[in-house]
Structure 1
């Protein structure tokens, strides 16, 4: 990534973030090789990057490196580079290996479904927390999935900000959103082919949304301070989170398609 995208200014920004500007400046070849397109630029990156990441290798009396500390700047560099997103967009194999991309690919679908009145940044923030927490912190992933649903539902209903009118529970929000989209289970035209099955699916969607909030409120997701919170099985957390995210994706997609007149559900 660095070899393909960095210019001199990027190196100095990274140096400032990791307190390694002097290291970058003092390297005999790094910036020169970059600016002149020399063949040894990649080798220069390999020489500099470990110390930018925070590697510290004390020397013994013989001058030989004796021990290596952990990369203390790794998270800073990851955030500065936007590494996870870049790999997701440009190197699927590396993304899967580093971030479990295949295991959380369903989260990307909700981002792709988002259009006005939602903003991508709001949904991406929830998606990032879900992706990072699904294995390391299942309760965080459950709590973030609930928040993602709230964001999507409130946006469909035009409930922006934090005013009193936005303080509604999930069952009320999903009922209002389905009604707004012309998709309330009770309003489907049952003479249409597949209407009975659509009704069952929409009723199940309503139940999934409600259960996501109940799971969080039961202390199995972040958002409430709970003493001696019960443990959440990671496999069940994945089922709950993926179901909630799929519901949010469907609703976001329906809202976007409805906004351009490309989505219609037969109703009475």
Structure 2
């Protein structure tokens, strides 16, 4: 099956059904079910199911099975049903329009990233594994930086299908991490600083500058050179975004950026963010 966004072309339909069912079971209430029904034309089928909503209301053990039944029915393509029962699917395809509704309502990629990473990989692919997003998320989780997961999910989705989105999200990711390191929260005037200033202040806060507590330890000079080179790459993200290659400026005729350049910029941001999270964590020990 194919989809115009980030879903893999060779994904198995049963994986899609399972992913949607798991997310629905975790997130949906009665109103969500009916909204999904109205948007897909299955509202009557949902109401008439003998056990679905009842088992949800009563938190019955058989709810999971009924969710799978209904998800299979909703995601099967019209006109291709050949099963014997009213809630079975025997086709190799998925109704892409119905899936798009469920995906949007559930925030499926983000939910899978946090709760079912294997299914995320099965459906959307590990498109960002080589730029270190997994390591970044693991490090951020240790410090309780929940916002990093949201940025990482957007980067995963955008790196191939919307490089501008990936760059915009990478810039926001780095800003989020640096502000967390500096204890800058909220939207006050003290938080309105660009990446170069945030990098400089983070280096001072962590003792990585020449006058800092870590400024004379073995390898400190080489580390500063490496961080300086990395900072130049990271700063280019802001320049690319300001030039219209990244999201956030409302441009209607934005120039197209190639995936290789986007990956380079995003990789720099992810590497820098991971470093500063880990350096900050070391300071807390």
Give yes or no for TM over 0.5: yes
**Map of 1:130-141 to 2, 5 A cutoff?**
130-141=155-166
Determine if contact 1:131/1:141 at 8 Å carries over to the other structure: yes
Gaps of 5+ in 2: 1-17, 82-92
- Largest Rg, 1 or 2: 1
Among 63, 71, 75, the alignment partner of 1:49 is 71
Instruction: Give the 3-state SS of the residue equivalent to 1:183 in structure 2.
Output: coil
1:207 and 1:9 map into 2 onto residues whose CA distance is: 42
Deviations 1:200-233 (A, max 9, x none): 2222232233222122112221122446433211
2:49 and 2:98 map into 1 onto residues whose CA distance is: 19
**Map of 1:134-153 to 2, 5 A cutoff?**
134-153=159-178
Q: Corresponding residue for 2:138?
A: 112
**Structure 1's 246 and 136: CA in aligned 2 closer, same or farther, altered over 3 A?**
same
Q: Corresponding residue for 2:121?
A: 96
Instruction: Give the 3-state SS of the residue equivalent to 1:172 in structure 2.
Output: helix
Q: Corresponding residue for 2:5?
A: none
Determine if contact 1:159/1:166 at 8 Å carries over to the other structure: yes
1:69 and 1:249 map into 2 onto residues whose CA distance is: 38
Greater Cα shift, 200-209 or 172-181? 200-209
Q: How far apart are 1:47 and its partner, in Å? A: 5.2
Deviations 1:47-90 (A, max 9, x none): 5324434844499xxxxxxxx99432323323555643565554
Q: Corresponding residue for 1:199?
A: 224
Instruction: Give the 3-state SS of the residue equivalent to 1:73 in structure 2.
Output: helix
**Structure 1's 14 and 156: CA in aligned 2 closer, same or farther, altered over 3 A?**
same
TM-score, with structure 1 as normaliser: 0.73
Deviations 1:137-165 (A, max 9, x none): 00110011011111111222222222222
2:145 and 2:21 map into 1 onto residues whose CA distance is: 31
Q: Corresponding residue for 1:253?
A: 278
Aligned CA-pair RMSD:
3.8
Instruction: Give the 3-state SS of the residue equivalent to 1:128 in structure 2.
Output: helix
Gaps of 5+ in 1: 60-67, 263-268
